[in-house]
Amino acid sequence: MKVLVAVKRVVDYNVKVRAKADGSDVDLNNVKMAINPFCEIAVEEAVRLKEAGVATEVIAVSVGGKACQEQIRTALALGADRGIQVETESGVEPLVVAKLLKGVVDKEQPQLVILGKQSIDGDNNQTGQMLGALTGMPQGTFASEITVNGEKLKVTREIDGGLQTLSLSLPAIVTTDLRLNEPRYASLPNIMKAKKKQLDVLTPADLGVEVTRHLTQVKVQPPAERQAGIKVEDVAQLVDKLKNEAKVI
């Protein structure tokens, strides 16, 4: 079984993100970049399927500029067999990414596509669902457990009311949630081996996709700073402030 895993280059989750002074975008100067945490979970799940003998090949794919090859190499160091970069200018929106991934799916014909449920920069939670609509493949989103049984895929997904279990026919699409697994660390020997693994570069034209923008980013600004709280002497003072200052009662 061939597994395709999508990875995205984002600001490392430990870094405090700052907006540019003119509010045009996020300041990325000298900022540490990494694989989106949910994508890292997707890579780990694909590698575990390979280690279990279920998957025969794991392909990591990323959409973006040349810099995203760093994240593809990280996925290769974690256990993916080869990588594909779809070279575009940075800032492509979810619909375009889904169309480009569909082109890769048509080219590679994987039995399973695993994506992170969302990226920590845009937080859109759209690409996996859009890819399912474009390909016509069944999908299991917010997966906390995956089990492959022949041509069937059992996905336990997290929903507001608890857990829901789906049975999907392969080929299928899965988006990962936090509790699916805990990603491993890439060892130094595997990092060195990843440098020699195959990494193909494609363009949108190779996949028959025209990159167009449907969304315009108007402004980026940090959230308003919260005012410091105060201590009150007794319940009477608390009620007075809630009534006359906060005006919530």
Q: For residue range 160-200, what is the model confidence (pLDDT) as tens digits?
A: 989 999 999 999 999 999 999 999 999 999 999 999 999 99
Task: Name the DSSP letter for residue 247.
Answer: -
Q: Provide the residue ranges of all domains of the chain, joining segments of one domain with +.
A: 2-221
How many helical (H) and strand (E) elements, i.e. helices and strands, does the chain have? 6, 11
Q: Which residues of the chain have pLDDT under 70?
A: 90
The answer to whether the CB of 9 falls within 8 A of the CB of 35 is yes
The sign of the CA dihedral 189, 69, 11, 47 is negative
Query: Measured between alpha carbons, how far is 186 from 144 in angstroms, rounded to an integer?
Result: 23
Q: Which fold has domain 2-221?
A: Rossmann fold (3.40.50)
Which residue is associated with the tokens 């709280």? 229
Q: How does pLDDT run across 141-163, given as a tens digit for each residue?
A: 999 999 999 899 999 999 998 99
Query: pTM of this prediction?
Result: 0.87
The amino acid at residue 176 is T
The whole-number pLDDT of residue 23 equals 87
At residue 39, φ and ψ (nearest 5 deg) are: -70, -35
At residue 200, φ and ψ (nearest 5 deg) are: -95, 145
Greatest CA separation for the chain:
71
The whole-number pLDDT of residue 90 equals 67
The whole-number pLDDT of residue 186 equals 92
Q: Residue 158: left if φ>0, alpha if ψ -120 to 50, beta else—which one? A: beta
